[in-house]
A and B are shown apart, each in its own frame.
Chain A
Amino acid sequence: MRAVGIIGTGQSAFTKSRSDVNYPELVREGAELALADAGVTMADVGAVVFPLAPDALIGVGNGERWCVEALGAQGKPFMRVNTGGATGLTAVVAGYVHVASGLFDVVLVAGADRVSESRSAQSVLNKMWDVAYERPFPLNTITMLALAAQRYNAKYGADERDLARVTVKNRRHAALNPHAHLRTPITEDEVLATRMISWPLKLADLCPSSTGAGAVVLASEEFARRSGRPVAWIRGAGQSSETFWMGDRVGPAALGDHADADALGEAMARSYRRAGLTKPREQLDVAELYAPFSSVELHAIEAAGLCPKGESFRRMADGEFALGAGGPVVNPSGGTLCTNPIAVTGLVRAAEVALQVTGRAGARQVPGASVGVATAIGGDHQFYASMVLANHLEEIA
């Protein structure tokens, strides 16, 4: 396996909807931003990886076909990746393997989403449950995460105010990020006063439906060094999967608990081992942890090894994990909670860590960041991806 770096990132300004572009034009926007940032052109790209989750969310069957021209992929290998919410990061992992294998020197990973164009998003997402046993019930991504939130809170003694603190922190961060969708700061009491959706989750505990594009350019060590661009080196990637059945993640016979994010912890541990990272709390400067709802960030912080299980909410109440607090900063971009363009959400996690470790994150920069981790979660907590990035190829101290 060769060393691989991210040499360019592109993100549009994420928003509720865009009427000035159609879907392939939106995809092209992100790709062009990343190529320009990398100082390369379509002609340098050897292969294209395209992230896209369920077709029905964009309302186009096999939307990857529509985007071949937008990504300059005629005559090149092209691959669509779909692991639900993890899609964007799994696509970056696929692109990484393309380059690490030695088969390609430069790979473009680019996509977009326009979630708000569907008036049926939660109905589309309900279709992922078992047709006989579960789909007759209104299971969707909101109710499934509310179940996990209730179980976490009951297991560890957290409450709705603990969830509200996550939103407050992330909105404060998003206000510093020109690409973020929800950028208005909010107070704990304001979060608690938003309308109840699925107890214990209220409107401000939930991500928005975002529209926008994201892309990264991956390059081999030789190409990356020759490019003269700031490089975020991919030091380790890890993935894991969890059982289909939520009901199998409870009780004494369960291997993982739906309250926790045990399989995410496995994926992250694999990425840490490959990176030679042994003490995440001391060695990580920044973590972009996929967490579409406030509640998810709590168990994701614990799965990342940034604190023991059941302690993240207490530490967040003490001000930890925020910009300016010292120690690893979690979601300095504002995270998925403030911006969720499903197909590229996981990709944006990697792009944000790349910007952080190369010192290019603007007002949301974690001072002196050199090592970070990006994660994503897909399906009903089925598919997990994790990627460690650093601004060097030396041993991680």
Chain B
Amino acid sequence: MTTQDARPAVISEPAFFEQTWDLSYRHALGTTVGGFLAGLRDKRLLGRRCPECQRVLFPARSFCDRDHVETTDWVEVGHHGVLEMFTIVYEPFPGMRVPPPYVLAYARLDGADTAVVGYVKGLDLSDVSAAAARLTTGTPVWVRFADDPRGEVTDFWFEVSDG
């Protein structure tokens, strides 16, 4: 028997490596987004109008994706509108802080040509079928603001309006 043959057999065994990514950023948002967020502190909802197609892009965008020109006027949009789409979330997602259940929706507000994302609050979500039956595409909603808005998109949310 040679020395080599006397070595113990190598056992193939799965091995694992654990890691967590800890990344930090400070993103420039630009002056148009900055203007929109500043408006929220005064409970104003601001869009921007395209001088070519006249669409009011809300939340505010600095250029029109169709006409490829800069938007010009700030336009304040209404606090009433309609639900365009929604989902009722019952599953917690790791890394996302909001606890379920909650309603996540896009609503198109009066004077805006596009819809904005937000929560729909004020509904009993304990029975999914009953909750889902209260909402559909076209359901009228209105905007509610936090008492002390901080200039963030979560400063406002939607509630079903009675007309």
Contacts and interface: CB of A to CB of B under 8 A. Distances in A.
A151 B84 contact: yes
Contacts of B55: 253
Contacts of B16: 19
A199 B27 contact: no
B65 interface: yes
A20 B19 CA distance: 19
B98 interface: yes
Interface string A11-36: 00000000110000000000000000
B69 interface: no
Contacts of A155: 137
Given A19-B16, A136-B153, A251-B114, A126 B96 contact: yes
Interface stretch (B70-78, B115-123, B140-148): B115-123
Interface residues of A, number: 48
A276 interface: no
Interface in B119-146: 119, 128, 131-132, 136-137
B162 interface: no
A196 B37 contact: no
A140 B89 CA distance: 11
Q: Among the interface residues A122, A150, A201, A254, which one has the most CB atoms of the partner chain B within 10 A?
A: A150
Given A56-B21, A131-B29, A199-B128, A151 B85 contact: yes
Contacts of B37: 132
B87 A250 contact: no
B84 A133 contact: no
A131 B27 contact: yes
Interface residues of B, number: 48
Nearest to B60: A133
A308 interface: no
Contacts of A119: 94
B116 A198 contact: no
Contacts of A254: 114
B45 to A, nearest CB: 12
B22 interface: no
Given A56-B21, A197-B91, 15 more contacts: A126-B93, A133-B59, A133-B116, A134-B153, A136-B152, A138-B98, A139-B104, A140-B96, A143-B104, A150-B85, A196-B128, A247-B116, A248-B114, A253-B114, A259-B85
Interface of B: 14, 16, 19, 21, 27, 29, 33, 36-37, 53, 55, 57, 59, 65-66, 84-91, 93-96, 98, 102, 104-106, 108, 113-119, 128, 131-132, 136-137, 152-154
